[in-house]
C-alpha cells in the first residue's frame, strides 16, 4: 500500500496538509508548481464529487455527527452505494 497524503485547499496553510502553491504578486508560478496544482485540482475534484454523491443519502446530508459516528455512517453508506452500483 502507498503512503497516505492528506490534501487541503488554501484555507489549510501551515497545517501539515498538501495545499496548492500560491502565486506571489508580480511573479508567476514555476512550471513544476503549476503541474502540482493541476494534480491537486484533479484529486480534489474527485473527492468533492464523491462527497456530493454520498450526500445524496439523507443520513449523511443531515448528519451532524463528528468523529467515530460520522466515520461509521460514511463507511456504511459507501458500502451500500457500492452494493447498489454492483447490482
Asked if residue 21 lies in contact with residue 33, where contact means CB atoms within 8 angstroms, the answer is yes
29 pLDDT tier (thresholds 50, 70, 90): very high
pLDDT at 18: 77
Residues 63 and 70 sit within 8 Å (Cβ to Cβ): yes
Mean pLDDT of 54-69: 71
Percent of the chain with pLDDT over 70: 75
Cα 67 to Cα 54: distance, rounded to the nearest angstrom = 17
pLDDT score, position 84: 83
Residues linked to residue 7 through DSSP beta bridges, in sequence order? 18
pLDDT for the residue numbered 72: 79
Task: Using alpha carbons, select from 35, 40, 38, 39 the residue that is nearest to residue 17.
Answer: 40
Q: Is 18 helix (H, G, I), strand (E, B) or coil?
A: strand
- What's the pLDDT score for residue 15? 65
The pLDDT of residue 38 is above 70: yes
Amino acid at each position: 500500500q502507498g503512503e497516505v497524503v492528506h490534501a487541503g485547499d488554501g484555507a489549510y496553510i501551515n497545517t501539515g496538509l498538501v495545499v496548492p502553491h500560491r502565486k506571489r504578486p508580480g511573479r508567476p508560478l514555476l512550471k513544476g508548481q503549476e503541474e502540482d496544482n493541476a494534480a491537486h485540482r484533479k484529486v480534489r475534484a474527485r473527492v468533492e464529487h464523491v462527497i456530493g454523491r454520498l450526500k445524496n443519502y439523507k443520513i449523511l446530508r443531515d448528519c451532524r455527527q463528528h468523529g467515530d459516528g460520522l466515520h461509521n455512517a460514511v463507511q456504511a453508506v459507501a458500502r451500500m452505494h457500492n452494493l447498489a452500483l454492483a447490482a
